[in-house]
Homo-oligomer: A and B are copies of this chain.
Amino acid sequence: MPVIKQPNLHLTPRGAAMRSHILDAAADLIYAHGVDRTSVDEVLVKSKTSKSQFYHYFTDKDALVLDVIKIQTQRVLGLQQPHLEALNSLPALQRWRDAIVKLVKGRHRAGGCPVGSLANELANRSEDARTLLASSFEIWRSSIERGLREMQKRGELAASANPHDLALAILTALQGGLLLAKTMHTSRPVEVALDMSLEHVARHMTARQPRR
């Protein structure tokens, strides 16, 4: 059982703000360049802080990375929140799809899903990181599932459908699409993958649909 260093047990509001400021800078840099190619010195420059501040708030770079995972998850889910909230009908899914495609088209040079990239880089390197990322995906998946269950409750989605797996398939397709999009520099993979997912959901719909 390793002893965990735990700095900054008592954070004043000012300290907390500083900490989160550093974290934001780190998240941006890591999204752009990856974990390994982001040095803490770069984070310090970008956040206009100094070494001692950094190590005052974080035990080491690994701890920082774990926190970056957390806030990137929050960012992604936060960005999707308005859509995920209302993801309870086929037209809503369609709008969600369009919003994502638009996002990807806007910056397909940039690069993929922040969470997906972290997962790829960290999954078989740190068990802590992997677990955290797995639960990020799980939260994401379940928030899609929730909408599907609503549809099922209202009788729009067949009772025989499996919202859990349906949601997993949608998220999986999206992640694959984002990876291929950032590699091929086109949004097509995201489009075809999401369209396939929506048709897949549609296939489990009943006759009883809401009027548009």
Contacts and interface: CB of A to CB of B under 8 A. Distances in A.
- Interface of chain A: mostly helix, strand, loop or mixed: helix
In the complex, which range does the number of interface residues on chain A fall in? 35 or more
A154 interface: no
A111 interface: yes
Interface in A169-212: 169, 171-177, 179-180, 182-185, 188-189, 192-193, 195-197, 199-200, 203
Nearest to A133: B183
Q: How many copies does the complex hold?
A: 2
A183 B37 contact: no
A52 interface: no
16 contacts: A32-B124, A33-B125, A36-B37, A116-B120, A116-B179, A117-B120, A130-B185, A138-B184, A165-B192, A172-B189, A172-B193, A173-B193, A175-B176, A176-B176, A199-B200, A203-B203
